[in-house]
Structure formats: C-alpha cells, structure tokens
Amino acid sequence: MHMIVTGGAGFLGQQCIARLLKNDLLVLAPEAGKAIRSISAFDVAEGALQHPKLHYVVGDIADPHQLRALFCDDTVAIIHLAAVVSGTAEADFDLGMRVNLDGTRHLLETARAQGRLIRLLYASSIAVFGGDLPAMVRDETTPTPQGSYGIQKYIGEQLVQDYTRRGFIDGRSVRIPTVVVRPGKPNGAASGFASNIIREPLAGRPALLPVDPATAMWVASPRAVVTMLMHALSLAPSAWGWHRAINLPGLTVTMQEALAALKAVAGESALALVEHRADPAVLRLVNTWAARFDTARALAMGFAPDEHFEAIVRAYVEDHPEALVDH
C-alpha cells in the first residue's frame, strides 16, 4: 500500500515517516494491517531520512498538477502536515493562504478525484482557539482564531468535515498542541520560544524568553504527537463519527515550570543561558492562545499526553545526543 505525507521533509513529517517505516505496517482500522509498499514525502525540499521505501517528491502543494502525480492506484492514506507556520502566515498573508488554504483544498480535491475513499489525516492546531476563551477549552468551544494561521487551519477543518460527510474522503482533523521540544533551528512559529528555551541552553547556547514566565502553554512532545498522529490515522471511521475535529491531549505548562524542568535535567548553568526579555509582538499573540483543555473525548478514544514536562525534556536529551553540551 502507498501513502502520502505532505510536509514529509519537515520535522513532524520525518518523525511520522520514521515511525511508519519502523512498524512497516499501515494499520487502518477496521481493516487488518497491510505492508507499506511505498511512502511519498511531498515537500519543498528533500529530508534527511533515507529508506528504500521512501520517495521524496519536491514540489508546490498549491499546484494541483503536482498533487495529482503523487497518487498511485494503491494510495490508501495521506498525512497532511504541509503548512506555513503561524508567524510566517501572519507575516506573509498571501503565502499562508496559498499553502494552508489552497494547498489543503487541492489535496482534498485530488484525493476525492481518486474515486475511492482515501483516509486523510489533517494536522490542525490549537491556534484555531484564541481571544476570550473559557477557563477550559473543549472540543465544542467555538474557535475564534486570532491570526491568519488559525483562520486557515480552521477553514481546512471545515473542508475536511464536509468532504468527509459527503463521502469524498475519510478525513480526521487533530488540533496539535504546541510541540516542545522542537529540534534543529527555530522555525517561523510564534510559539518557537517554548522549544528555544530548552533546546538552546542544552546545546550551550543562549535563548530568549519573550513572554512572562507565568505564561502557560498547552504542549506535547514530538514523541507523543507522532504517537497520537499514528493513532488518529489508524482509528476506524466509526470511532470518529460525525465530528471529525478533535483537540489532542497535552500538558499545561508555564514557562517557569519549563525552566524548572530544564534546571532539573541540565543544572543551573543551562538555566543561566535563558534571558527574559519581553517581546510585545509575541506576547500579544501568545496571550490569545488557549492553555487549558478538557480533552475527554480524545482520551476516551485512546489518545494519550506526555507524563510531565520533565519527561519531555529527558526524551529530547535521549533523542538528540548530538545537540547537547555537557552540563
């Protein structure tokens, strides 16, 4: 069986592909597991991961012709991760609309045109929530996105919902918490500082905390997110029912707690590398984000969050020995 991962060269894309190839089985309930024949990783560039079953396709997701060429007769599932991140979508409106909205729509159209029910996992984001929020955000809380990224992601959810209702695809949308700790270089996400303040000091480099240390965020580790994405893909349609968008479980953590975990793992010298300097632009955006969720539905469906924040930091240390200095 063939699978497509858009944004397949990106951070989450590479992790998802690695996980899929490790299992080498595409478990799509209620059908039995089938061997993976091939994975097409569609992105603007190739990724580092190499495997005989992995094929990179470099292209533009807003070009329907390129998307059409991605599909094979045995394509059964798509993980749609390709996106322009929040900071970039806010800075370049047209680029965000093109990639996040047009790209998603073209992908849905192309999947529909295959004439069989292809399963599509859509990576949405908690950035669909914002503004005046209840103390606890639930699946049924009205999204009122405060930025273009959240608007575009939310529109994508609506399309996935309707394409699914009409039987064009078997879609499911997951609103991913802020992923911490992201390895590598900072990306354009406004939430990037939450990773920076852990990753950079662990590597012996300084980092900026642009928000109040009491600022809380809703986070999940890469490991937990990848596990949840695999789970979201594998669940039978009946497990989803009508509503195809869900808030994924995560942890509520204040930046202060995050720094305490950094100190517990890497000591005072690492902590000393973090400088608190408020950035009004980041603060304005982050303050509109939701930090506390009741994810009862997702938990009942078998999605699981990280244990606690220190475990997230320790997992990063385990997974990225190359990105550490001795503390």
d(CA 243, CA 258): 33
Per-residue CA distances from 171 to 12, 29, 235 (Å): 19, 13, 11
Site string for its own copies, 123-162 (x = CB under 8 A): --------x--------xxxxxxx-x--x--xx--xx-xx
Torsion over CA of 249, 254, 257 and 263, rounded to 10 degrees? Answer: 100
Closest CB to its own copies among 40 and 161?
161
Minimum CB–partner distance for residue 155 and its own copies (Å): 5
Establish whether 163 is a catalytic residue: no
Which residues touch 28 (CB under 8 Å, ≥6 apart)?
A: 34, 76, 77, 119, 233, 234
Question: Measured between alpha carbons, how far is 241 from 164 in angstroms, rounded to an integer?
Answer: 10
**Residue 93 interacting with its own copies (CB under 8 A):** yes
Two structure tokens written together for 143 = 């999204």
Cα(220)–Cα(239) distance, integer angstroms:
23
Minimal distance, residue 288 CB to its own copies, in Å: 11
Q: Which two tokens stand for residue 56?
A: 């990179």
Q: CB nearer to its own copies: give 32 or 300.
A: 300
Question: Least separation, in Å, of the C-beta of 244 and its own copies?
Answer: 11
User: Is the Cβ of residue 155 or residue 324 nearer to its own copies in the bound state?
Assistant: 155
Helices 309-319 & 255-271 angle (0-180, nearest 10): 50
Q: Contact with its own copies (CB under 8 A): which of 34, 205, 243, 292?
A: 243
Q: Say which of 56, 122, 149, 316 is annotated catalytic.
A: 149
Q: Can you tell me which of 135, 214, 242, 322 binds its own copies, judged by CB under 8 A? A: 242
Q: Give the footprint of its own copies on this chain (CB under 8 A).
A: 93, 131, 140-146, 148, 151, 154-155, 158-159, 161-162, 165-166, 242-243
**Residues that are catalytic:** 149
